[in-house]
Every structure is written in structure tokens, then in C-alpha cells.
A and B are shown apart, each in its own frame.
Chain A
Amino acid sequence: MTIALILVVVAFLALAVLFRIAKGQASADKLLDNPSQHMRSVDIEAFRNLIDPEEEEFLRRNLTASEFRTVQRERLLAAAEYVAGAAHNAALLLRLGEAARHSTDPATAQAAEKLIDNALRLRLYAFQVLARLYVGTIIPGVRISPVRIAERYEQMTREVVMLGCLQYPTRGVSAAM
């Protein structure tokens, strides 16, 4: 009886998730109408500063243990915000890449494939980094070095610029977004 009830609850939860995803799928294409409106601002330099081990070491040396824990938690939460923003933007850029990947022009299709590849890798790193950052907020001593996410984000930015220029040579990347 208990097992049956658990299965029924699980089945209804699964149904709810499916309907939510179906709804999301229907509205996802609308993002392409004006992607720049949905982009989040990500300051790479500020992010690099937040995750800089030297900066962390400096704070550790100059603050008391409890002060360091508080400051470090705030820094990691801010870094997590940036990572979430970068992951969100990667999802949008992935859609842009999707729209261009079937282009008849090989250079555009190749640029789109590269953009998709990098956006996917960034989402994957973001997943791992976010987990580490949140663990870091609970255990402040844990070493976190999510430098690759900043590099990947910059690379992805370059690729979307390239794709924009390939698709809209006269208007530049802003037209693509």
C-alpha cells in the first residue's frame, strides 16, 4: 500500500515535470526574438577577482578567522551569481548557435557548432563550479579554482561575435543578439 502510494506520488511529480518542460520547450524559441533582452550582465574581471587564490590568501592573512569566513561566504555567493549568469547566457547563446547550425554556408555552420560546443561545456563546468561554490560557503576552507569557467566564457563570447559577424556582416554582433 505504502509502495503504491509512493509510486503514485512519483508518477504525478513526473507528469508535472513533463508538462513544465513541454511548456518551456514551447516558449524557448521566443527567446530568439530578442536574446539581448534576456542576457545577464557578467563582469569577468570582477569574477576573476572573486575567485583569485591570492586575493583569498590576502584576506585570510589580514582578517580574523570569523571575519574571513563571513567575507569569504559573501565572495563565494557573489561568484555563484556570476557563474549562474554565465550559464544562463550560455543557454541563450546555445539557442543562437542552434538557429545557425543548419546554415547552408559551411563557415557559419562551423562557427555555430563551435559556439554550441563551448556553450555546452560552459554549462557543464557551471554545474560543477556552482556545486563547489555552494560547498565552499558551508566549508570556507575548501579550495575552489573555477578559472576555466572564466576562460570558457570569454571563448564563447568571441565565438558569438564571430557568428554574429558571419551572419550579419554589415550590422555586427549586436544584430545577432
Chain B
Amino acid sequence: MSALRFLYYYLWIAPHVLQVVILFAMVQRRLHERFRMFFLYTGFEVLQFALLFSVRQFLTITQQQFFLLLTIGLTASTVLRFGIIYEVFLELCRAYPALKNLLGVLFGRTALALLLTAAVLAALTPGNGIYRFRFVVSVFDTSFSIVQCGLLLFLFLFSRYFALSWRQSVFGIALGFGVYASVELASSALRSQILPGTHLFDYLAMATYHCCVLVWLFYILASAQEPRLIVQKLPGHDLETWNQELQRLLHQ
């Protein structure tokens, strides 16, 4: 087995093995109830891998049939990823009810703007007559990457401006998807337009996915040690002390 072939199999198998660990860790920490979409996505990715790997290794199917299977899986993964982004959005709304309306409106408008941008860019992309189906898949891939990347970036920038603190697990999930969507956006654009036919970007996407799985695993495992403040007992209502402190602070 050549080194490149080994790398290919490693990048294909290893992330999914780690995703099995993520599934167990989530169940153990009861995070599967909280992040249902992420749990579903992780489970789906593992099942999809098992199916594709078995088909590739043990059944004789054509390259086109394999690509069709891959495309069906990719479509389902994309839908689930949108579900996860929505889950992250809901987590932020839950943690900060004061921002719920503003965040909802801005999130909706950003999604609309990104969809329009993606549609315009897809329409402007020059077609490839020979590999029509692959071209369409590639354009959709790029378009959804734009929307996903944009939505995650919006959530991060919004949180950054308002200095919102994310729970480690939510932050890790969003960060992993953000990195993957960014790299996927770059590689799908390059793959379809600049260097079609090369496998370099497949390796890049697989390696990025591996890194993202590691990020998810790290944050899921770290979520058990999230710091909590130890608070003393409620004091008696010492209004005089409060008043003095208030006066002091206002006159500083």
C-alpha cells in the first residue's frame, strides 16, 4: 500500500472512529438530549461511512453509482448541518433571552442575504457540459458552504460584539463546523473552477474534517469540567452597605 493510499484510508476511517467515541461521550454526559441534531449528525456520519466503506470494499459498483451514493449522503449531511446551526442559534437565544428578538431577526436576514448571494454566484458560475451532474453537485456544495459559513460567522461575530460567553460544548461544535465550512467553501470553489479533476482538495477536505472531529471530541470531553462559581450564602439586606458602595462607585 502506497503512502498516499494509506493517508487516504487513514483520513477516511479515523474521523469516523473518533465520532463513535463522541457518540459514547455524549450519551455518558447526557449531551445527546441537549444537542439532538449534532448527535443525529454524528450518528448519521458513522452509518454513512460504514455503508460507503462496505460498498467500496466488498461490492462491485461503478464509480458513478458510488458517486450517487455519496451525493445522497452529502445531501442528508448538509440538511443536518443546517439543523445544527439552528441548534446553536437556539442555544444562544436560550442563554440570552434579552437578545432573542434581535438575534432572531438578524439571523433570518443574514440567512436570506446569504441565500441570495449563493444563488447569484451559482447562476454566474460557468457550466461544465461533460460532467453535468458533478457540476450541479459541486455548485450546490459551494452554495451551501457559503450559507453555512456565513451563518456561523454571523453567530460568532454577534457573540463577539455582545461579549456573550458560549458553553464549551456549543462553542466547540460551532467552531468545528465553522472551520469545516470555511475550508469546504475554499476547496469546493477551487475544485470546480480552477483545478477540476485533482484529488488534492479531497485530501484537504478530509484532513480538515479530521481536525474538526478532534475539536468536537476535545470540547465534548472538556464540557464535563466547565467552571461554576461557588457562591456564598445570601446576606441579610444591608441597605446601608449597598448605598455606601453605590455612592463610592458613582463618585469615583
Residue of A nearest to B195 (CB): A4
Report the stretch among A46-54, A66-74, A116-124, A137-145 that lies at the interface: A116-124
Please, how many angstroms separate the alpha-carbon atoms of A22 and B177 in the complex? 13
| CB proximity to A under 8 Å, residues B127-174 | 142, 146, 149, 152-153, 156-157, 159-166, 171
Partner of A165, one of B179, B192, B242: B242
Chain A, interface residues (CB within 8 Å), range: 35 or more
Provide the bound-state CA to CA distance between A76 and B149, in Å: 37
| Cβ A17 vs Cβ B229 within 8 A | no
Contact of A25 with B166 at beta-carbon distance under 8 Å, contacts A120-B98, A164-B245, A168-B232 already known: yes
> Which of A55-63, A77-85, A154-162 lies on the face that meets chain B?
A154-162
- Distance to closest chain A CB from B37 (angstroms): 20
Given known pairs A3-B193, A25-B171, A165-B238, the reply for A15 and B231 (CB within 8 Å) is: no
Knowing A21-B156, A120-B96 touch, does A14 contact B231 (C-beta < 8 A)? Answer: no
Residues of A within 8 A of B157 (CB): 17, 21
Question: Which residues on the B side are within 8 Å of A108 (C-beta)?
Answer: 231, 234
- The 8 Å CB contact of A11, one of B162, B189, B193, B241, is B189
How far is B234's CA from A98's CA once the two chains are assembled, in angstroms?
A: 18
Supposing A17-B156, A18-B175 touch, asked if A102 and B182 sit within 8 A by C-beta, the answer is no
Chain B residues with CB below 8 A from A162, complex form: 242
**By the criterion CB–CB under 8 Å, are B175 and A1 in contact?**
no
Select which of B159, B160, B227, B242 is within 8 A of A29 by beta carbon.
B227
